[in-house]
Structure 1
Amino acid sequence: MTPASLVDGAPADTVGIDSRGLAYGDGVFRTLRLQDGGVLHADEQWRKLAADAQRLDLEVPPLDVWLADTAMLNHGQATGVAKWLLVRRSEGRGYRPTTRAAQRIVQVSSLPPRVASAALTIAALRLAAQPALAGIKHLNRLEQVLAARELRPGTDELLMCDHDGFLVGGLRSNLFWVHDGRLLTPFVDRCGIAGTMRARVLRIAAGLGVAQAEVREGGAALMAADEIFVTNALVGIWPAHRVETRGLQAPGPLTQRLARELGPPFLI
């Protein structure tokens, strides 16, 4: 599939030099999986986009507009990736926003391949704490850009900690591990992203009666974990076969159970 994009519903592959997204990262976005010609979990993704936009005081077009743009670009391909971006419109220079109006950008590209299980490494770069932005997927991804320079052959995903050394999540994912039958995931109240797949996995686990908790733990907690996996909207549940130098069963029994409940196309 050839990458393609629309800006406010019209074909375009550039943005204006006065874009507040370009200058300040003043906007939010979602990355979505296209499956069987449609957007997977579209309602949930739009609600999260709207909630994140509200945190920045941005107007959000209705779901049907996003879906129409995506369909225009997708051309009925069985699988793919869509990216929905919402960028505050520019009304002059300066940091202070003067409008809630936002530019709508939709991009569609091919679904990248992935290996069956992941090797994880803890990044040296630490995430800054900013509760006002915690949980949302805003356009300023400089911390992730810097951390990505640490990726080396043999590492599939980097794990990120905050300034105090507590685990937050992956470079492009949320993190879960299992210890003594409990499903654990880091808090994302000071930094990090509260992903839609993270929320879905927590709901599934609750429905299965699995004990779960949000925790503040350092990387040492993973050395005692029985199972580890990461999640995002493209891969669903991605089991880890290694964290640092420690090998793991991948997938573990609870990981498999959660993936079965998550269902196609995320069976492992």
Structure 2
Amino acid sequence: MTDAFPLDASFPLDDRGLLLGDGLFETMLWTGDDLPHLDAHLARMTAGCETLGLPAFDLGEARALCLAAPGEAGQGGGRAAVRLTLTAGSGGRGLDRPAAPAPRLAARAAAAPVPTTPVDLMLAKTRRNEGSPAARLKTLSYVDNVLARAEALAAGADEAVMRNNHGDLTCAAAANLFWITDDVLFTPALHCGVLNGLVRARVIEAARALRVEVHEVARGAEALDEAQAVFLTNSLIGVRPARRFEGETFGPHALVERLREAALD
């Protein structure tokens, strides 16, 4: 059984999540009265535990923590981000986990206003390691994403577009990436070092239902220079169009709006 922590809990100083980034997290949208995709988030965290060799966590505890977090944070009636954190628990000095890890779970919530403007993007120097399992998981080791976002803010942009070590597009610092060229939808393939985002999957499904051609590809940043439209997706922003990328500008595109509506149904 995992240790469950309330909103104001502190993790001990020997916790492996704190010391080594050994763990996972999920960020989900509280709509004001529900977490509509909670089960999908818990399923992804469960799969992540299998990949990392962590014991299964208690789904009932996790569900209860997530549902309680908005009220505990005073956000029960509003739009909020709920973050569920799972660490590998306490361990001795060094890299080796205990023979029987005892993971810890905690959840907290914070207000998450709806984005009202398109996003300005820049190309980050910080790369994703496509050969690492962590590149396809929401692990607690997120420093590359932190550095990429810092690059974007320093450049006067809102968000960074990241590449892998081969120069292929991967994602934004905290979102999946899509673009439209000749009315065909493109997104980086998972093997490029991409998180299999839940909204990403819904957008792809919605596009195919609308009979839009979809390609998951390995392409360089020049693909965005040729695009009609670019947009980002994650559980908090839904589908958010881009306005600029490295000197290129994008106007509204009807397909982006159709996908936004279909993916959020």
Query: Structures share a fold, TM > 0.5?
Result: yes
Cα distance, 1:113 vs structure 2 = 5.1
Cα distance, 1:190 vs structure 2 = 4.3
Measure the CA separation in 1 of the matches of 2:69 and 2:132: 36
Describe the shift of the 1:188–1:263 C-alpha distance in structure 2 as closer, same or farther (beyond 3 A).
Answer: closer
Pairs within 5 Å for 1:87-236: 87-97=87-97, 98-112=99-113, 114-150=115-151, 151-152=153-154, 154-236=156-238
Cα distance, 1:81 vs structure 2 = 0.8
Q: How many residues in Structure 1 have an aligned counterpart in Structure 2?
A: 257
Cα distance, 1:11 vs structure 2 = 4.7
Identify the range of structure 1 (182-191 vs 253-262) with the bigger mean alpha-carbon deviation: 182-191
Q: What are the ranges of 5 or more consecutive residues in structure 1 without an aligned counterpart?
A: 1-6
Give the TM-score taking structure 1 as reference length. 0.89
Measure the CA separation in 2 of the matches of 1:213 and 1:147: 26
Q: What are the ranges of 5 or more consecutive residues in structure 2 without an aligned counterpart?
A: none
Match of 1:3 in 2: none
Q: Which amino acid aligns with 1:186?
A: P
SS in 1 for 2:134: coil
Contact 1:82 1:106 in 2 (8 A): yes
Measure the CA separation in 2 of the matches of 1:209 and 1:22: 46
Note the aligned Cα RMSD (angstroms): 1.8
Deviation string 1:172-194 (CA, Å, 9 cap, x unpaired) is 10000011221100123242322
Contact 2:170 2:192 in 1 (8 A): no
Match of 1:4 in 2: none
Give the TM-score taking structure 2 as reference length. 0.90
Measure the CA separation in 1 of the matches of 2:262 and 2:114: 22
Q: Which amino acid aligns with 1:253?
A: A
Describe the shift of the 1:182–1:109 C-alpha distance in structure 2 as closer, same or farther (beyond 3 A).
Answer: same
Among 232, 239, 242, the alignment partner of 1:240 is 242
Cα distance, 1:56 vs structure 2 = 0.7
Contact 2:90 2:101 in 1 (8 A): no
Q: Structure 1 stretches (4+) deviating beyond 6 angstroms?
A: none
Identify the range of structure 1 (130-139 vs 210-219) with the bigger mean alpha-carbon deviation: 130-139
- Percent identity over the alignment is 29
Measure the CA separation in 2 of the matches of 1:180 and 1:261: 20
Contact 1:127 1:160 in 2 (8 A): yes
Cα distance, 1:263 vs structure 2 = 3.2
